[in-house]
Amino acid sequence: MASTFDVAVIGAGPGGYIAAIRAAQLGFKVACIDDGVRVDGKPAPGGTCTNVGCIPSKALLQSSEHFEMARTHFVEHGIGLKDLSIDVPKMIARKTKIVQQTNEGILYLFKKNKITFFHGRAAFEGKKENSWQLNVSLAGADKKTETLAATHVVVATGSSPRALPGAPFDNKRLLDNEGALALTETPKRLGVVGAGVIGLEMGSVWRRLGAEVTLLEALPEFLGVADSAVAKEAAKLFKAQGLMIHTGVNITSVKTDGKDVLVEYTDAKGVTQKSSFDKLIVSIGRVPNTSGLNAEAVGLTLDERGFIAVDDDCRTNLPNVWAIGDVVRGPMLAHKAEEEGVAVAERLAGQKAHVDFNTIPYVIYTSPEIAWVGKTEQQLKAAGVSYRAGSIPFMANGRARALGDTRGFVKWLADATTDRVLGLHIIGPMASELVMEGVIAMEFGASSEDIARICHAHPTLTETVKEAALALDGRALNF
């Protein structure tokens, strides 16, 4: 006899576990199934984000940033250090501890919300009357299986790294995100294919710890997704840090000879180049996880790129089957997955829910950080929208000078006629936190004048956000 539930969520990443919690809060009987496993065999809920994504990458970014600060900036503060060293295995052990604490936190939240957690892999079996039947292959040596029945199924199976054709990951020399987060010593020569978000974050970690880092990017333009002024500033600052970024590259061959990774490519001028690295991170985007779900057998439709096809409300083509997060269209971000999880649970309860893709913040946790929300200048120009821009460098901010980090700027974009905020673009200290002013402004339909008139604490970095709004109207006070 199958255990029966109102809602079964497949996947306990940020999309799935949050959907499960919200559904349980709304009174549904909920199951969540996840196959993530720790090295000690225990469950590892939290998905890519917790285990091999957001959380571990930020832990290593923090450790490596401390090291870089101690190596290069402490001296300005009068702090002298002798024999500075980095214990990479200890840094990795700290990261692992943070990940495991997060895994345990999620298991606690399941218990607290009376969610039944199954550690294993789920697949659709079929439909009986009004219930979806799921087969769960439980984790563990005894290979047990269990059948669940659920009225609603939320698929939140996430994504996996995309490999270069003919060069599968071995996580010894050819690394995906998991391998890049688990190195136990700093490679001398690190190659990174793809100068996107992972490439820049992981490249920054290992550069700070002493690696010579070369990024090979296919597109002719660096960081084309960001506002072009931000991308230009970032390219200048990253180059000064020692990151070697080559754009317009076409990788023609990747081989390992047991010792080195040999990469052949044509550069932006079409000239053949050969490089050899100790390790090569490949971060060229991710593919949705749909294999093993038995999607075809039950007729679950995928789109032309292999994502589960959904409408604006995350409904699939199958009745009462929903899909959220990285396995569906839209940005592959943990907070986007979470918002979709909440929205689906609320729709199941008959509530109105909405996720506005235009107000999703984007953050790249390099140093300085890069963050934005809304439209870029190039998008507004392409759409023929008339807008005004207001920009202020962090150099004009007292708190930034006291922190010793005056790199970058803040830029607001607002409609030229109505003054409604259309975008906020930041490169600089704590951009990840500052960008929320833009998100809130856009959610509330604020004008740049609204921001300019809000009292901001002094001395804070947020004053640069206010000053940039004043600058939009030509009345900045401190610049």
Known catalytic residues are 458
Part in contact with ligand FAD (CB under 6 A); list of ranges 100-108, 315-323, 331-339, 342-350: 331-339
Q: What amino acid is encoded at 378 in this protein?
A: Q
Of the pair 230, 364, the CB lying nearest ligand FAD is at 364
Question: 34 or 233, CB closer to ligand FAD?
Answer: 34
Closest by CA to 54, choosing from 206, 227, 197, 235, is 197
Among 55, 60, 190, 364, binds ligand NAI (CB under 6 A): 364
Closest approach, Cβ 459 to ligand FAD, in A, equals 28
Q: Which residues make Cβ contacts (< 8 Å) with residue 144, sequence separation at least 6?
A: 137, 138
Nearest approach in angstroms of CB 14 to ligand NAI is: 12
Residue window 193-212: x/- pattern of binding to ligand NAI, with contact defined by CB under 6 A: xxxxxxx-x-----------
Site for ligand FAD in 266-305 (CB under 6 A): 289, 292-293
Decide if 30 contacts 23 (C-beta within 8 A): yes
Tell me the two tokens of residue 42. Answer: 């225990």
Residues 136-175 that bind ligand NAI (CB under 6 A): 164
Q: State yes or no: residue 426 binds ligand NAI (CB under 6 A).
A: no
Q: Which is nearer to ligand FAD, 53 or 191 (CB)?
A: 53
Choose the contact partner of 196 out of ligand NAI, ligand FAD, none; CB within 5 to 8 A by kind.
Answer: ligand NAI
Which residue(s) pair with 161 in the sheet?
286
- Please, what sign has the CA dihedral across residues 23, 24, 30, 34? positive
> Which of the stretches 80-88, 156-164, 264-272, 410-418 binds ligand FAD when contact is defined by CB under 6 A?
156-164
Site for ligand NAI in 2-21 (CB under 6 A): none
Select from 34, 125, 217, 339 the one that contacts ligand NAI (CB under 6 A): 217
Should residue 193 be labelled a site residue for ligand FAD when binding is judged by CB under 6 A?
Answer: no
Three-state SS for 304-370 is CCCCECCCCCCECCCCCEEECHHHCCCCCCHHHHHHHHHHHHHHHCCCCCCCCHHHCCEEECCCCEE
Burial 273-285 (b: 16+ CB within 10 A, else e): eebebbbbbbbbe
Q: What is the helix (H) or strand (E) element at residue 390, kind and residue range?
A: strand 387-393
Chain residues 34-93 in contact with ligand FAD, contact rule CB under 6 A: 34-36, 47-49, 53-54, 57
Residues binding ligand NAI: what is the number (CB under 6 A)? 25
The correct pick among 23, 284, 300, 389 for binding ligand NAI (CB under 6 A) is 284
- Facing residues of 261 across strands? 256, 277
**Helix, strand, coil shares of the chain as percentages rounded to 5?**
35, 30, 40
In the list ligand FAD, ligand NAI, none, the entry touching 13 (Cβ below 5 to 8 angstroms by class) is: ligand FAD
216: contact with ligand NAI by CB under 6 A: yes
**CA–CA separation, 180 vs 348, rounded Å?**
39
The span from the CA of 93 to the CA of 80, in Å, is: 27
Cα–Cα distance, 181 to 61 (Å, whole number)? 10
Please list every residue from 229 through 258 that binds ligand NAI, using CB under 6 A. Answer: 249, 251
Contact between residue 334 and residue 53 where contact means Cβ atoms under 8 Å apart: yes
Site residues (vs ligand NAI, CB under 6 A): 164, 193-199, 201, 216-219, 249, 251, 283-286, 331-333, 363-365
Site residues (vs ligand FAD, CB under 6 A): 10-16, 33-36, 47-49, 53-54, 57, 121-122, 156-159, 177, 198, 289, 292-293, 325-326, 332-335, 337
